[in-house]
Structure 1
Amino acid sequence: MKHYLPVLLLFFTLSACAQQPYQNAQLSIDERVADLLSKMTVEEKVMQMRIFHANKGIKIDDAGNLSLEGDTKERLRLGIAGIKNPGEHNDPVAAAKGNNALQKYIIENNRFGIPALFVTESYNGVDAEGCTKFGRPITSAASFNPELTHRQWLVVGNEARLRGMHMCHSPEADVVRDPRFGRMSEAFGEDTYLVKENVVAAITGVQGNYDGLGKGTHIGAVAKHFAGYGQVLGGTNFAAIEISERTLIDEIFPPFEAAVKEARTLGIMASHGDLNGVASHANPWLLTEVLRKQWGFKGYTVSDANDIGRLFYFMGVAETPEDAALLGLRAGMDVDLYADDAYSLLPGLAKKMPEIMTYIDRSAGHVLRTKMILGLFENPYIDVRETERRVRMTSSLALAREADEESIVLLKNDNKALPISKSTAKKIALLGPILRETSLEQFQKIAPGVEFVAEQGFRLTDEQRAVPKVNENTDAALDKLVGIARTADVNILFLGGDEHTAKEGFFNNALGDRASIDPVGPQDELLRRVKALGKPTIVVFTHRRTLSINGFDEHADAILDGWDLSEFGDEAMAKMIFGDANPSGKCPSTVPRHIGQLPFHYSGKRINNKKGYLFMENGPLYPFGHGLSYTSFDYSNARVSAPTLTVPGMITASVKVTNTGSMAGKEVVQLYLTDEIGSVTRPAKELKAFKKILLQPGETKTVSFKITPEMLAFTRLDMTKGVETGDYTILLGTSSAEGETVKFRLIAD
């Protein structure tokens, strides 16, 4: 009989588990988590605190068949918190089939049938094959339309879930102000309020307004990188982060706080760097005091790749790998992403230090709670028929096109060079290094009666993934491009940057940041030579970092800035060029004239503007919030409903906006506030509200904004957050540099 005892024990164990409280969806999640934790070994709990990448041995073929290679089965023996990017290179249907099979294997091969979280990312839509490709986050920010951002991320959450995914290491809640930083385009710009509004829109979208989580239609968000990651010194990935506590609280924290309190994000990822000398992954003040105690965060925290182990071998704040694991655990890091040399050590440490079980239970519980919120214990699989029907729906592709059109910024339009008449421009040349394979086709779709000639000429780099080198063999290509330009009536130059000139710099042997923000290669020379031909010259400017485009501004007749648009981006550009659409985007970041101006953002302290530099015009090339239109807008009659605002209380600021041109257009009406006198030096101005409105020719609308004391709160001299009695100036206008002003006084006593 003893020969069959292990099999019988396993049978009775599994039968008992089927009746356990943790599987009863009628109980509260806290009750279910507590029950499950009470039954698990320390090894099983720690496995709920680890994520590994699918490239470690998870293979899904084109038909969706799953194979597990290497040590994958051993990795999954006790369950797992999650797996990153399973099926990312498969089409959605194959990914869904393979992920169903993978989930089934995981559930059937751990004692309690605990499902895994499958994790993706989203920078241009779901980062996987076969999904709708939207513009990057900073492109969305340029639309100044968070409702549009929300609708895009609703699609992202739905398409990810239909692949079998459950969490998304996106969006970025970082405020990014340094264009040297290669990851600039992953965030929503330089302004705290603009970032906050878009982060809330993105998280509520990807999570299906939270209701979509339990229904199985959407996935959970992981807001990142907490905190200050966009402020790395020198703009280099992994560098130190030095931010005053006042700036941290007033400018860097708000998007993360809103992600927790307003959007109810399921996850938070810590920052690669330190924060004023304290490694972010070992910072209990950041991860526990602020995030959980002050803000009430209930989800799980996850390390950036391998960063708990790096507390030892990179950050230099832990004596041993074991110390690194303990530092992260005690600080509040719940999940170890990728590493095999960090939280894998916790079971052994727990035998020597049983007091750490409190932290292990806490962290494993946060992950199990998330899985229950997502309904994975009840519904762990995807209906592949829905995947076939609902990924890349016609409505999703139309949304990508709509978002492109609202995000394009008309930076310059001298002498109304744009739009171009389809009937008068007989031959148009599409030229330059940022020309895409689909550019010609997309332009022909919008203007089928126009003769186009297209030639990229040269690439900016050799396009090596790790460390690309600038292409210096361009002389013949320049001559060829100028020769083609000579035969055209209008020349459209595709200039800027691409995925090789602005990207993430990985830990080893990969670079993505730059010491210069000038355009790469001989782009200015190409523009000068083409412009010298005397033909109308238009620049289509796409990029993933802010560039100092003084040469573009000097020589181009018009510049359309698209940042990094969707897969249909050149359709939108063509529609703008030929007047089928009217630009309405605005700059989500200040455009400097020179790298020497950095750090340089519109909301810097007023005292920063006292002096300029020798031999250079002062101020930005284009201010934050700038964006032209093919029509014109007149601002008038700015006023406030009362000259004073009391605490508590509310006043209204309003302005009349009239379309004085001959074409319908959308305008972003922006409200900035300046605190004239404070107990500490205050920003020059701060964006506090905006509205995007559509006006027909001759139409006038009065746009109103509520102003409350909460909008005026800041960290005062004594480091308390609150307001102070004093005078404020409101700017109501078309950018941070142009509009109507009106004043009011805040009475705080």
Structure 2
Amino acid sequence: MRFLFNYITRLLLIVLMVAPTLITAQKLIYKDASLPIEDRVNDLLNRMTVEEKVGQMLMFGAQRVARKGKDGSLVITDWGKPYFTNGLGGLKFPFQKETPEESARLNNELQKKIIASNRFGIPALFVGEAYNGVDAKGCTSFGRPLNLAASWNVNLTHDVWSAIGRESRLRGWHMVHSPVGDIARDPRFGRMSEGYGEDTFLTTEMLVAAVTGVQGDYNGTGFNTSHIGAVVKHFAGYSQVVGGRNFAAVEVSPRVLLDELLPPFKTAVQRGHALAIMPSHGDINGVASHGNPWLLTDLLRKQWGFNGYVVSDAYDVGRLNFLMKVAENIEEAVKLGLKAGVDLDLYSEDVYELLPEMVKKDPSLLPYIDRAAGDMLRTKFIMGLFDNPYIDVEETKKGVRSKENLSLAKEMDEESMILLKNENQILPLNKKESRKIALIGPLLGEDTKEAFESVAGDKVSFVAEKGYELTNRNSKHPELTPRNDAALDKMVELAKDADVSILFVGGDRFTAQEATFFKWVIGDRATIEPVGVQDELIQRVKALGKPVIVVLKHRRTLSFNVINDNADAVLDCWEMTEFGDELVAKVLFGEFSPSGKLPVTVPRTIGQIPYHYSMKEISFFKDYLFLESGPLYPFGYGLSYSKFSYSQPKLTSDILERDGTIQVTVDVMNTGKVTAKEVVQMYIKDMFGSVLRPDKELKGFEKIELKPGETKTVQFTITPDMLVFTGVEMKPIIEAGDYEVMLGTSSQEYQKTSFRLK
């Protein structure tokens, strides 16, 4: 009996000794990839200290934490080492200046170090930017987002951003602070080319294509780990700053906010499943966006169902105190940002880091910390970083700057160039005709002449002269270069000796850039005319009596009246890819027909601003003294080397039921002599409303290709949802009544029909 007692006692002791290990193993839910993500998030969150949770709420510039040593090894800085113990939310621009392969290798090593240094093995997010493709050494250089808007090609936009997503992931990045959902209506604003133009519908469709592309068609489940997450910004109304000046106040009506500025973000969340949101530097009705619980919690999370993370724009939680002046001290700023819904504080080392001490005095902050850390962890689980945090460097070598991506860049150039003017059909130029062409102007590139020679062949000869730089190319404080009469004379002399002159004019990247928080870094403008002596240059060349073709390169809308009046042809290129000059040469010599359309209205003068096609009808009632009526070029405008005719649109019914749909069709025929693409645009006008309504609104578009003599029928479906707007009581409504439908080639050239909503 004693023997049995001793045996049972020893057995119990063994069970008690083993039990903690078994229980611990059973409780490691967060490590089990087969379990639901929310279970993994909650399990890990419950194990973490406040300090570890706050660690997930911090993101620093990677250079402060890690760098490449002289021998190519990973070096962790003394400043960065203490942060590894509690884990980090992320790092911005890790190894941005290294080659893709070096970046992948070093990011693998850095991630391994971060995972090994914190007790739960939590990986960090490595984050970049993507305005012209991945903003890092050795990646494919694409054009600006506004170029994609000019293409009016949703599939192309998706594919370009998919390439950006793949190239980002292959260098070891997991998110980009892109794309931009801001509506760009003020060309004084230096960042207007980061978005998709002035229109809500076009921006929405392009933004969703960008988000789904960069995220690998993530639909809320089963993230594609070959891609990255999107951080959609700047939420919301950012580009509506007064005077077009970065960091200025935002003055928009609640109705404009709801009907025009918020829809792209809502759709990016609900259709695009964006993983993160960045608030605006600005305010809405006086409430700072980074301290706005209605915006970041009630609207974004509760109404729209967003469950990603919200990251501050650089330093903006702290700026609630020292810029916005809505918090009397940093601690108050921390509370405002955290409670409003900001999960991750970008760059600051003295803001959210205060939380562990603050929560000791105010335990009510803990649920907000849990929410923020949970949002960060959830994103990392979704992206598969806990299970597969590293990059195959061999894949990096094959996947970055692949033939497919370089071909895609060329396609972006081809689709986005806009032919604004072509008097006497001077374009396309004839390769078979012997002539001398002068390539001149301050936007001429180093390799432009070589690109034109490779395209044009032997019978056409070229002379080239840049003349001068527009600016001193100082990124912090650009200044215009002094007048250079010798340079002007030299360009005119070249034009005098040539048969045709092609002028490369507009604006360089320093004449339209982000104006940062530091006062000496400016990028917004008070005027929108071409700077310097560009008007004089084209007038002198035109006076020679020979054809003048303008290639317009720029990042902001320009009122280029003098250039337009003196040019025989104008090709609007915005800011193109690394292959831009090659594709410009090809389109000028007729290898394809231009098919881009304006994603913005081009005003005649800054005095017309605000000026966009979808303003309220009464805004177009009166013109200005001493100014020609209308814009220089309207929204949606763009010529072709061919001609298109539109039939009268047909409706399947002239009555739209509240729960029904109707289809509208139009026949489009290529009546010209070359194969070309056309963007068929559908606008709808509410003829009478309980509040003042827009003159017209874009509600559909499709890009089609037609051979000479070919006709295609284009169909759009009209739904009641298209007619919803914010009514008198500031609630979404739809009103019975008459609506006009316009189908055509621009916002000012169309065929129309009408229907009635019952």
TM-score computed with the length of structure 2 as normaliser: 0.95
How far off is 1:18 after superposition? 11
Contact 2:509 2:555 in 1 (8 A): yes
Query: Per-residue CA shift, 1:43-87, capped at 9, x if unaligned?
Result: 110110110001214213697531122401123231100000001
1:203 aligns with 2:211: yes
1:539 aligns with 2:547: no
Cross-structure match for 1:618: 629
Whole-Å separation in 2 of the counterparts to 1:425 and 1:406: 29
Cross-structure match for 2:293: 284
Q: Which residue, 404, 411, 428 being the options, matches 1:402?
A: 411
**Percent identity at matched positions?**
56
Contact 1:56 1:70 in 2 (8 A): no
1:90 aligns with 2:98: yes
Point out the more displaced range, 69-78 or 131-140.
Answer: 69-78
Q: 1:341 to 1:675 in 2, by over 3 A?
A: same
Helix, strand or coil for the counterpart of 2:666? strand
Whole-Å separation in 2 of the counterparts to 1:255 and 1:61: 43
Whole-Å separation in 1 of the counterparts to 2:24 and 2:514: 48
Whole-Å separation in 2 of the counterparts to 1:637 and 1:62: 70
Q: Which residue, 501, 505, 508 being the options, matches 1:498?
A: 508
Q: 1:64 to 1:95 in 2, by over 3 A?
A: farther
Contact 1:64 1:97 in 2 (8 A): no
How far off is 1:656 after superposition? 1.3
Helix, strand or coil for the counterpart of 1:589? coil
Q: Which residue, 669, 672, 683 being the options, matches 1:672?
A: 683
Cross-structure match for 2:141: 133
Whole-Å separation in 2 of the counterparts to 1:339 and 1:442: 46
Cross-structure match for 2:275: 266
Cross-structure match for 1:718: 729
Task: Give, as a single letter, the amino acid of the residue that structure 2 aligns with 1:202.
Answer: A
Query: Per-residue CA shift, 1:567-594, capped at 9, x if unaligned?
Result: 0011111111000010000000000000
1:434 aligns with 2:443: yes
Task: Give, as a single letter, the amino acid of the residue that structure 1 aligns with 2:480.
Answer: V
Task: Give, as a single letter, the amino acid of the residue that structure 1 aligns with 2:593.
Answer: N
Contact 2:218 2:224 in 1 (8 A): no
1:301 aligns with 2:321: no
Aligned positions, number? 736
Cross-structure match for 1:481: 491
Whole-Å separation in 1 of the counterparts to 2:354 and 2:687: 55
Aligned ranges 1:598-747 → 2 under 5 Å = 598-747=609-758
1:453 aligns with 2:453: no
Query: Per-residue CA shift, 1:425-448, capped at 9, x if unaligned?
Result: 421111111111121222122123
Q: Which residue, 52, 56, 71 being the options, matches 2:60?
A: 52
Point out the more displaced range, 669-678 or 629-638.
Answer: 629-638
Q: 1:205 to 1:215 in 2, by over 3 A?
A: closer
1:177 aligns with 2:185: yes
Helix, strand or coil for the counterpart of 2:511? coil
Structure 2 portions without partners, runs of 5+: 1-19
Task: Give, as a single letter, the amino acid of the residue that structure 2 aligns with 1:283.
Answer: N
1:378 aligns with 2:387: yes
Whole-Å separation in 2 of the counterparts to 1:500 and 1:213: 42
How far off is 1:135 after superposition? 0.8
Cross-structure match for 1:108: 116
Q: Moved runs in structure 1, 4+ residues, more than 3 A? A: 15-19, 61-64, 211-215
Q: 1:126 to 1:213 in 2, by over 3 A?
A: farther
Task: Give, as a single letter, the amino acid of the residue that structure 2 aligns with 1:471.
Answer: T
Q: Which residue, 336, 346, 368 being the options, matches 2:377?
A: 368
Task: Give, as a single letter, the amino acid of the residue that structure 2 aligns with 1:462.
Answer: N
Helix, strand or coil for the counterpart of 2:262? helix
Whole-Å separation in 2 of the counterparts to 1:692 and 1:60: 47
Helix, strand or coil for the counterpart of 2:414? helix
Whole-Å separation in 2 of the counterparts to 1:500 and 1:451: 32
Aligned ranges 1:197-236 → 2 under 5 Å = 197-210=205-218, 214-236=223-245
Whole-Å separation in 1 of the counterparts to 2:56 and 2:408: 37
Q: Which residue, 63, 75, 95 being the options, matches 1:67?
A: 75
How far off is 1:214 after superposition? 3.6
Query: Per-residue CA shift, 1:608-638, capped at 9, x if unaligned?
Result: 0011111010110000000000000011121
Cross-structure match for 1:3: none
Cross-structure match for 1:416: 425
Helix, strand or coil for the counterpart of 2:257? helix
Whole-Å separation in 2 of the counterparts to 1:188 and 1:131: 22
Choose 1 or 2 for highest CA Rg.
Answer: 2
Task: Give, as a single letter, the amino acid of the residue that structure 1 aligns with 2:739.
Answer: Y
Q: Which residue, 558, 561, 568 being the options, matches 2:572?
A: 561
Q: Which residue, 149, 163, 179 being the options, matches 1:155?
A: 163
Helix, strand or coil for the counterpart of 2:148? helix
How far off is 1:553 after superposition? 1.1
Contact 1:207 1:213 in 2 (8 A): no
Q: 1:564 to 1:425 in 2, by over 3 A?
A: farther
Contact 2:235 2:278 in 1 (8 A): yes
Contact 2:56 2:87 in 1 (8 A): yes
Query: Per-residue CA shift, 1:367-416, capped at 9, x if unaligned?
Result: 00000001001100000000011110111101100111010000000110
Whole-Å separation in 2 of the counterparts to 1:389 and 1:485: 45
Contact 1:60 1:94 in 2 (8 A): no
Contact 1:440 1:452 in 2 (8 A): yes
Task: Give, as a single letter, the amino acid of the residue that structure 2 aligns with 1:505.
Answer: A
Point out the more displaced range, 96-105 or 638-647.
Answer: 638-647
Whole-Å separation in 2 of the counterparts to 1:478 and 1:524: 11
Point out the more displaced range, 649-658 or 219-228.
Answer: 649-658
